[in-house]
Structure 1
Amino acid sequence: MTNPNGYAPNGSAAPQVPGPQTPSPQSPSRRDRSRHGDKPISGCAIAGCVTGGIGLLTSWIPIFNNVSAIIAVIGVVLAIIGLVATRRKGRKRGRGVAIAAVVISVIAIIIVLVTQNAYVKAIDDAGKQVEASQSASKKAVADRTYTFKATSNGPASAVYTNGGGSHTEDFNGSWQITAKGTEAGEFPGLSVLTSDYSNPDPSGIKVSCEILVNGKSVSKHNGTGSGASAICDVPYDWQETK
């Protein structure tokens, strides 16, 4: 027998009886981890999802979506690698992420193609409208009728554009000529000049010029006094649009 202090009656130490042993935990093997789903997630699947998302977010931006298409294609490639790595007997998980990456990337590519087609069509339509407007403007110019008028109370000269050149005609009293379309030149104009310094008219020398386009007066000026002159031209807005 032993006393409460653990010694035998003769004073020697009592033998120690080992107690129940608790087994130490052991780390699971790779096979155990795989069986319990403890696989690392596929980095390619995540990268493909992120890349596809960037491509999708920027696929609506004109011009930049050319880069978005390239980003989305990279996302598809990464997602496919992720799908291979996460197959049933694969060493990684995250198959759902890889599938989502494929879907997002493909949608981004489709949006880029659709928007690019829409942008190209819009540009073509705008170009056709500009061409139609220019054609209509050229036709309007070709169909115009320019009427040049001049008056003077004495001998004077009318200088006008016609047939792509400048012409001069002397007159006394009133003068008029008509030009059709481009015959009047690119910048139709009329100048009335006098060198009559001894005009007997008590009110002095008076000259005037006027240009009518399709019967509507677009420029009219008068000049008085010694060496009087009057200059008329077609306003720029009439040359281009009316």
Structure 2
Amino acid sequence: MAKGARTEKVDRGSEHIVLPIIALVFGVIGLVISWVPIINNAAFFFGLIGLILGIISLIVNRKNVKTISIIGTVIATAGMAIVLFTQYHYSNALDKATSELSSAVNTDDDSDSSATDKSKSDDSSSSKPMPTGEDTTLSSGNWEVGKDIKPGIYVLTAPSGSGNVDSDPKNYENPSINIILGSGEEDHETTKYRAYLNDGDQINISGLDTVNFETDKPLNNTSNDQYISGQYKVGTDIKPGRYKISAVSGSGNLITDGSVNEILSTEPDDGEVASTTVNLKNGEVLNSDVQMIQLEEQ
């Protein structure tokens, strides 16, 4: 019976030491994976189990076995604390990233909205009637529309001599001027040129003492008519449609901001034509430096 008693005592000691070892194992597992995002959710439960088992083993075990129980309990508690700490910081980092992404998306939306509003504003401003200008004479030099001459539609003439007149539009969509203006002494000169001058455009005059700017007005969608050199807006000056455009006097370039790009001449050489048939769409600008052209609706 003595031997049986000794056997029972060894078994009870083995049972008592298993509990703190299990607590220690759970605590260590929880501590190891407590730093890993998402997975550390499971680490908390490992730590919790280790903590519970450690407390139980502290209660039921003898003093010489309590050391393992204390270590397991401390490690389990540390793992749980690390899980809570890391979860707090991971959550803050995620919230910050989400907030920055949302802010970036809102900024893009605001930019798109601003661009759309600007486009609508530009369309609205382009559809407004051209202001009435005022007869003005400018000498050689650089001039700004809105300061030195009022915005409007003008016919440009040179009282004498010959020189260059060009412009730098403030809005790249507006038509520009690039002509040799003269009194008619040379064949290549333009004697009259009709132009749209918009606020902020820069006018450059060189080689001429003076240039007269005489006010003009929209032609109210005429069709079959003759036109001097210059700029004509389809839908304002010329009715949209299909036209045969012929040179009546002189030669020069005929272009639109669409698909037209020809050299017209009453006596065409190589690369020149006497007439061309084109489709003029609403909103386009017909720009000609031919002395006189004829439009015939087809």
Query: What TM-score comes out, normalization by structure 1 length?
Result: 0.49
Q: Considering only CA atoms, is the larger Rg found in Structure 1 or Structure 2?
A: 1
Query: What TM-score comes out, normalization by structure 2 length?
Result: 0.41
Higher strand proportion, which one? 2
